[in-house]
Amino acid sequence: MALSSSRSWRYNVFLSFHGPDVRSSYLSHLRKQLERNGIITFNDQEIERSQTIKPELTRAIQESRISIVVLSQNYASSSWCLNELVEILDCKETGQIVMTVFYKVNPSDVRKQIGGFGKAFKETCQGKTETEIQSWTKALTYVANIEGEHSLNWVNEADMIEKIATDVSNKLNASLSRDFDGMVGLEDHLGKMKSLLHLENNEAMIIGISGPAGIGKTTIARALFNQLSFSFPLRYFMGNVKGSYRRTDCDEHGLKLRLQEQLLRKILSQKRIKISHLNVIYERLGNQKVLIILDDVDHLEQIIVTTEDQELLQQHGINNVYNVAFPSSEEALGIFCLSAFKQISPPDGFGRLVERAAELCSNLPLGLCVVGSSLLDKSLICISTNGDIQMHKLLQQVGTQEIKRQEPWKRHILIDPYEICDVLQSNTGTGTVMGISFDITEISKVSISKKTFRRMCNLRFLRVYKRRIDKNVEVHIPEEMEFPHGLRLLHWKAYPSKCLPPTFHPEYLVELNMQHSQLEKLWEGTQPLTNLTKMNLSGSGNLKEVPDLSNDKNLKLLDLSGCMSLVEIPSSISNLHKLQELMMMFCINLEVIPEGLNLMSIETVNMVGCLRLRTFTPSFMSFNLRHIFLTRCEKLQSLPDIVSTELITLNANGCQSLQRVPNCFHSTKVALNFTKCFNLSQEARKSIIQKSFLDGRKYVGTRSSNKWARLPGWACLPGNEVPAEFNHRAKGNSLTILPESSDKPLYASAIFKICVVISPKNKVGSNLPKIICLRMNKFVCSCPCYDFQVYNKISMSSVFAHLSTEHLFVFLYVLDQKDHSLGVLSEILFKIESGPNFEITECGAQMWTEETPALETIECGAEETENVDEGKSRRSFWSCLLLCCFIICCIVIFAWGKKTIDFRFSV
C-alpha cells in the first residue's frame, strides 16, 4: 500500500512572473542559476499569452514540485498572471511547495493591493466578474503572507539568486520521497498522528509516540516529518537521542545544554552556537513555527517524542500520545511478504511458512522486515572479517522468544538468570541442555553444586558474565566441581577461583575466555589442546604462570594483557606456528621474552606498557607480520630483525632505553614511530633515516593516480638537525630545489625523500596535529602547478601528542615522470605545514633518480649482500645451463628436419 501523497513530478520548478518586468533581466539570471544547479524548470517561451490560462500551462503548474511566484510592480496588470496564481495556490493544497520573490515591490502593497501595484490591479479588475475579483484578491493576500526573498533587502542581486537556487535544491532534496512506498498500514498511522497534531491551530503541541522496540515508531516519525516539514520554516529530526545522551560526559544540566545547542545549530543552520542557560531555546524559537521530532528518547522533555517508555511521557505531562499498535495478522503477512518476495501476498506453497515466520516475529514490524529481507538475501547469520559468527539482533530476539515458549525441562539453551541460578544450585540440569548464557549482573550470590554439570553431559557452550564491572557478585565454586567433558566454549568473566578444577578436560575446547579472573594458573602439567584457537586471560592480575602450550597446534589468539603478576612466558609458545595475534599489553612485571621464538604466522604483537621488558629477541620469521606495538617499554634496549615485507606499524614511542633497531626494514609502507627514543645509537638512527623505505626506488616513474604517489610510509625519531645526506636543506618550512645540471631536468627525479625538524610550541592547542606537504612546480615559463600530500591529523595524533622536544619526521614524495604536462621544471618548491601546535624549523630533501644505486645492495649490510650475491650466482649458473640445453635442442630439431645429423666437431 503506497502513500497517496507520493507522486511523480515532471518539472522541479514552475516560474510565475510578469514578462516585461523581469524576463530579460532578473528572470534570465534566475533560470540560468537553476539550470546550473541541475533543476528542471518549465519553459513557457512557446506558449502564446492571452486573457485566459492555457490548458498546457495549467498542466505544467500541476506537474511541478515547486512554484516560484515573482511578484513585480506590474504583476497584477496581467489577468494571465493572476489566473496562474490562483491555480498555483490550488495546487498548494495538494502538496505543491510555493516560494515567493518580491522584486522591487513592497509585500504590504501586494497584501493590501495598494500603491502602484494596487493601481495596476484595479485596472485589471475593470469589466471582470465579482467572482474573479474575489479569487484574485484572496490569492494576492495569501501569497503576500508567504515568507520569501525581498530584492530591496539585498545589495547584490546575484547573491539573492544564488540563495534562492540553494533553497530550491534543499527543498527538492528534502521533499517527500518514495522511501516509504509499500509500507503496509503506514497511511493509517499518519492520518491518526495528524489528527492529534491539530495542524489547523497555531498552538504549541507536544506529541508522544509510544510502543515497544521494532513496532515502527521511528518509521512513522520519519514519514510524518517528510510530509509536514515543508509547512514549517524551521524543522529538525534528531535521531537516536538516547545514544547521544549516553555518549556525553557531563552532568544533567550540561547534558541538556549540549542537546539544546545541537538543536539550535541544526534548526538555525549555524555551526557555532553556545548557550549558557536552558531558556535560550525558548527565547530563540518561542515565536517561530517549528517542527522538532526527537527519536528514541529516555530522559528529556521534547516536542514530538518517540519512546518505549510510556511512564516517561506521563511524568512530563505529555497527554497527547499515539500508542502504536501491533499490525493485524493480515497486515503482518503483507509486511513480511513485501520484504521477502516483493509482493503483498505469499507465492504458492509458501503460505504456511509465512504464517509461521510472522508468528515467530510476534507480528513485530521491524522483525517481519528484517527476517523477510534476510530470507531474501540470507544475511541473518554471517561470519565477520575476524572469523566471528554474527547473528542479527532480531534473530536473537526471535530465538529468545522461542526458548521462553518451551517447557523448562525441554530447553536446549538456558538464558534466564534466575532459572540458571536455580539449576546450578539445586543440581537440576539435564542432558537436554546444550548451552548456558548466564548474566549474573542482577544476582547477588551464587553457590554452585559440585555435581551441577555432571548431568549436563551435552553442554557445549558455557558463558558466565556481568554487564557491569563494578557490580560485586559472590560466586562460590567447589574445588571438586566437574566441567562437562565435551565443552567447546568456556567464557567465564571474573572467574573466582585460583585454578580450574583438576578434572577439567580441555581437549575439545575451541575458545577459552577468562577475562578479569582470579586465576593464578590454569592447570597443572600439559593438557591436550588440539582444538583451541583462542585463549583470552586479559585482566587476570593474579596470573603468575601460563600453561604449557606445546600441544596446541591451532591457537591463533593469545591475549595476556593486564596480567600484571606475570614475570615470564613459557618457551612452549615457540611451537604456536598458527598464532596470529600475541597481546601482552601492560604486563608490567614481564622482563624477558624467550629466545628462539619462531612464530611463522604472527601478524600482530602488542606489548604496550611492559615497563620492565629488557630484551625482545624473538626471530619473527613470519612474512605476514603487520603490526608491532612497544609503546612505553621503558627498559627495552634492542629490537629483533624483521623479515616481513608486509609490516605496516612499528610503534616504539617512549622506549627511552632503546639503542638497537633492525638493520633493514623490508617494507616501503611501514610507519616507524621512535618518538621519545632518546638513546638510539648512531647506527640505529642511520638505519631508521636511510633504510626505512628500502625499495621505494622501484616506484620511480609511477603515475600520480597510482597508490604509491602518496606513500603512507614515514619515520619519526628525536633530532634537531636535518642529516647531511639530505643535500638540499633550508631553514624554516619551505625548500626550493633547482636542477643539478642542464642534462638532468627535474622531471627525471621522480622520488624525493624529505626530512623536517618538528619543534613543539610552548602553548599546545587543542587541535590534533597533522603534516601537509605542498609542492609547487615552476615551468620554464614560470607557470605554477600545485600538488599536495597529507599525513592526516587522525594518524598523526598519537605520534606527535605530548612531544616536548624536537623530532625528525621523514617521508617520501613521488613526482610523476611520465606526465608530460609537467614539462621541464626550472624549480620545485616544497612547503610543509604542521598545524597550530608545532612549527617546522628546518627541512631537507634527497632526490632518488634512476642513477641512484640500488638501495637493497648498499643498505642491508654485508651479510645480506653476500646472500644476495650467492643467490645471483646460483641463478646465473642454472640460467646458463638451461640456455645451453635450449640451443642444443633447437640445433637437433633443425638438423632432424634436414634429415642430416652430424655429431663431428672440428677444431
Return phi, psi of residue 153, to 5°. Answer: -90, 0
- Answer whether residue 435 shows pLDDT above 80: yes
Four-CA torsion 134, 140, 146, 149, nearest 10 degrees? 180
CA angle in degrees (0–180, nearest 5) for 60-64-70: 90
* DSSP labels, 143-170: HHTS--EEGGG-S-HHHHHHHHHHHHHH
Domain boundaries, the chain: 11-173, 186-323, 329-399, 410-505, 528-643, 716-859, 874-907
DSSP string of 67-96?
Answer: EEEEE-TTGGG-HHHHHHHHHHHHHHTTT-
Q: Judge contact between 716 and 673, C-beta under 8 A.
A: yes
Mean pLDDT across the stretch 812-828? 58
CA 210, CA 718: separation in Å to the nearest integer? 60
Do the domains 11-173 and 186-323 sit in the same CATH topology, yes or no? Answer: yes
Range name among 215-224, 337-346, 401-410, 525-534 with the lowest pLDDT average: 401-410
At position 434, the amino acid (one-letter code) is: M
Which residues have a Cβ under 8 Å from the Cβ of 603 and sit 6 or more positions away? 580, 581, 622, 624, 625, 626, 627
Question: Which pLDDT score, from 0 to 100, does residue 642 have?
Answer: 80
Homologous superfamily in CATH for domain 11-173: Toll/interleukin-1 receptor homology (TIR) domain (3.40.50.10140)
Dist CA 6 CA 1 (whole Å)? 11
Q: Return the SS3 of 611.
A: coil
Summary mean pLDDT of the chain: 76
Whole-angstrom distance, CA of residue 826 vs CA of residue 739: 7
Residue 363, exposed/middle/buried by CB under 10 A (0-12, 13-18, 19+)? buried
CA 498, CA 503: separation in Å to the nearest integer? 15
Cell 532459572, residue located: 419
841 and 731 Cβ atoms separated by less than 8 Å: yes
- The H or E element spanning position 125 is helix 115-125
What pLDDT shows up at residue 256?
74
pLDDT at 96 over 50: yes
Query: Cα separation of 392 and 345, whole Å?
Result: 25
Band (pLDDT 50/70/90 cuts) for residue 324 is confident
What stretches of 232-358 adopt beta strand conformation (E)? 234-238, 290-294, 304-307, 320-323
Predicted pLDDT at 391 = 72
Q: How far is CA 847 from CA 138, 296, 701, in A?
A: 78, 58, 13
pLDDT reading at 26 higher than 60: yes
Q: How confident is the model at residue 462, as a pLDDT?
A: 93
Q: ∠ CA 840-686-865 to the nearest 5 degrees?
A: 145
Q: Are 260 and 275 in contact (CB under 8 A)?
A: yes
The 10s digit of each residue's pLDDT in 731-788 is 998 888 877 766 666 654 557 888 999 988 865 444 555 667 666 655 443 334 444 4
CATH 3.40.50.300 is right for the domain spanning 186-323: yes
pLDDT at 147: 87
Cα angle for residues 182, 186, 192 (degrees, 5° grid): 160
Are 798 and 697 spatial neighbours (Cβ–Cβ below 8 Å)? no
CATH number corresponding to 716-859: 2.60.120
Please count the CA atoms within 13 angstroms of the CA of 219 that sit on its side-chain side.
Answer: 20
* Catalytic residue chosen out of the listed positions 84, 87, 149, 331: 84
pLDDT of 896 strictly over 70? no
Q: What is the β-pairing status of strands 784-791 and 771-779? A: antiparallel
Going by C-beta distance under 8 Å and a sequence separation of 6 or more, which residues neighbour residue 118? 76, 109, 112
Q: What is the pLDDT of residue 463?
A: 93
- The predicted pLDDT at position 393 comes to 67
Residue type, 689: I
For 376, other C-beta atoms within 10 Å of its C-beta total: 12
Gap between the Cα atoms of 764 and 162, Å rounded: 41
- Among the residues of 286-392, which ranges form H helices? 310-315, 329-341, 351-360, 365-377
The more confidently predicted of residues 682 and 824 is 682
Percent of residues, the chain, with pLDDT higher than 90 = 23
pLDDT at 120: 92
How confident is the model over 841-884, as pLDDT tens digits?
A: 999 988 775 555 444 433 444 344 344 344 444 444 444 444 45
pLDDT at 186: 78
Q: Is residue 823 pLDDT above 60, yes or no?
A: no
Output the pLDDT for position 601: 87
Q: What is the pLDDT of residue 863?
A: 43
Which residues make Cβ contacts (< 8 Å) with residue 164, sequence separation at least 6? 30, 33, 68, 99, 101, 149
Is 84 designated active site? yes
The residue among 468, 400, 469, 466 whose CA lies nearest residue 435 is: 400
**Mean pLDDT of all residues in 450-455:** 84
Least confident of 84-98, 120-134, 521-535, 847-861: 847-861
Answer yes or no: are the C-beta atoms of 561 and 538 closer than 8 Å.
Answer: yes
Place of cell 495538494: 94
In 3D space, the residue among 646, 657, 722, 711 whose CA is nearest the CA of residue 684 turns out to be 657
pLDDT at 330: 84
**pLDDT tens string 248-264:** 455 667 777 777 787 78
Cell 545514544 -> residue = 243
